[in-house]
Structure 1
Amino acid sequence: DVTNISSLGGAFSLTVASFLAYIGIIWWASWYPGAEPGGGGYVAQRMMSAKNEKHSLFATLFFQITHYAVRPWPWIIVGLSTLVLYPNLSVESKGIGYVYAMRDFLPVGLKGLLVAAFFAAYMSTIATQLNWGTSYIINDFYKRFIKKNEQEKHYVNISRLATILLMVLSVFVTLFISRISGAWQFIMESGAGLGLVLILRWFWWRVNAWSEISAMVTPFIVYPIIKYNGVEFPNTLFYLVTITTIVWVSVTYLTKPTDEKTLLSFYKKIHPGGILWKKISDTLPNVKSDTGFAGMFINWIIGVVLVYSILFGSGSLIFGNIGSFFLYLILAIICTIIITFNLSKMDWSENQ
């Protein structure tokens, strides 16, 4: 059965459709906090805090390597160890092996420190999301459309109320989620199809606010319908992404474009290039558009190879497969040389 090869186990336990959803859709089509396609608040804050564009690029590359190639290994090593230490755990209970390892192997001091770290991580995440959500509600909705000219004290009080309501709503939602993976899946499903519009807004002048709004709303409407019909994650992504894309593209053409003054101002400041901005660039012949998209695409592909080379190379070294380690090391060095060479040819003078 080519659609279900789960009998082989391991990496082959996914259906072909599920594999295609993970490898071909999620990375570009679904919005996910911290990994937003087309850039987002998390990534943008890091980049804007850098000294200049060159520093922000290398800092972002460094983050990708440490986040995806270095950080997972402590989790993986502990997880694999628990499979050996606690072989009698059922498949559904494998995750509790982490807790058992903490209980059985950490000394009292480190055990308390780890618990405190868990609480700190939980509270920082909750605080971030509540403040983030409240800022959207107050600044982007309430302050713009409900009460436009109130004193700051009024907005502070309303923001406190909004924070409480968001927390109550969050607690209510958690009653329907039995596993943390369910929350991740729901986030990816509720943002399915949004990724493409977040990417294209930088490359196509026609994308407007209604494009993004429709892309954000559509998954929430479609999601309960396909779930009711028995479609499970990640197969839900095929339906969500397709329908959401059709909707936001249709809305884009059915609504008025962003006013020309705003587009011209944006183009002068950001100077995006590409054929999809030609209508605007033709009206501003003195503004030099960004170029070198082919080189950027090559750097992106090589960057992906670099991250995976370090990830798998680290694993090979940890598990004593020295031959594979050196192969991945050589590949990582080659990728680093190519990226460094390509970036050295860029003109950074305007960004210093």
Structure 2
Amino acid sequence: MSPEQLLKQRVYRLTFGMVVACYAAFTLDFPLSNLILVLAAKFLTVPAAPSLKGLLVLVISLIIMPLLFSAFVMLFGFEPQIMVIMLSLILMWFYYLGTEQKFVLLATFGIVFLVLISFFGVLNGVAVTALTENLIKATFIALLIYIIAHTFFPEKRQDFQLPASPYSEFARALIAIKSVIVLLPLLLFYLYFLPSHALLVLIFSAMFLMQVSTKESLKALKLYFIVNIVSAIFAIATYELFVMIPSLIYLMLFMATVGIYFGREIFIGSKLGKVYAGAIAGYLVLFSGLALSNDNSIDTKSWDRLIQILFACSYIVIVAHSLERWLFRRWKTKFADRLGLNESA
């Protein structure tokens, strides 16, 4: 298979998966069905044939993580001080994992699941069990779509070695600490003040921070900020069009167009591939969450989500860059011998 044929195969596979996941998300009537579209698209942005070991690890993590988080909320949900400490430690662990490319997918799902379950635990501890069941159901359907997409659009299995993290263990720990310092005030604000549709904004923000947590230059942060805000505007504009043309066929054709265009950008090997992969996930989180919400007033308030996302992402960029400039730059001088790059990077 030539490079051009391989590129087409991957683009068609992503597009097929997004269309099927869109149909499933909008026809299966259960809470969190919108995550089918988000998770299936996220799985399919990984340019590699699935292995039995990889699928097994993914299945176990997608079952074990929600169950553990559910138990965590049931234990500490009524003790906010303890819950915040535990939440910070778990978030730190996931952001630490996210600094190594082979764990990015697992870390992203872990953060999304943690935010979902902990948020609902604060709102309604009784609903956590039902939420966990629906979360596991959505992930199983997304995995099934992922396997079917690879069955129809296969590629030769090969040793696909992701590059090792360019950061030392100490540097990865500092990046994780910085990420939690940035995200925790935002998380606490939304947990305790509960503005409308805070969950969508929190998930979008947590995924955005996963992208920018290892970016140090202001230029890189600006690029990620602009691309993600454009994806949020695109998501709300898509939703407004869907309100005017509430047709599933139209929506599936639209998703096919998105898959073809962004798939090529993601898999062609350009420097912006990772940015587009992150942005499309944020786009799908916001759009699917808006479109499948039970809130009848969402049409008039959808642009409020954009204002909240603009505020949250601006906060993340400003605070992350400020910490890098005023605190972590000093730490780099103080701990220079422990912050070296890996030789393999």
- Please identify which structure carries the higher helix content: 2
**TM-score normalized by the length of structure 2:** 0.27
TM-score of the aligned structures, taking structure 1 as reference length:
0.26
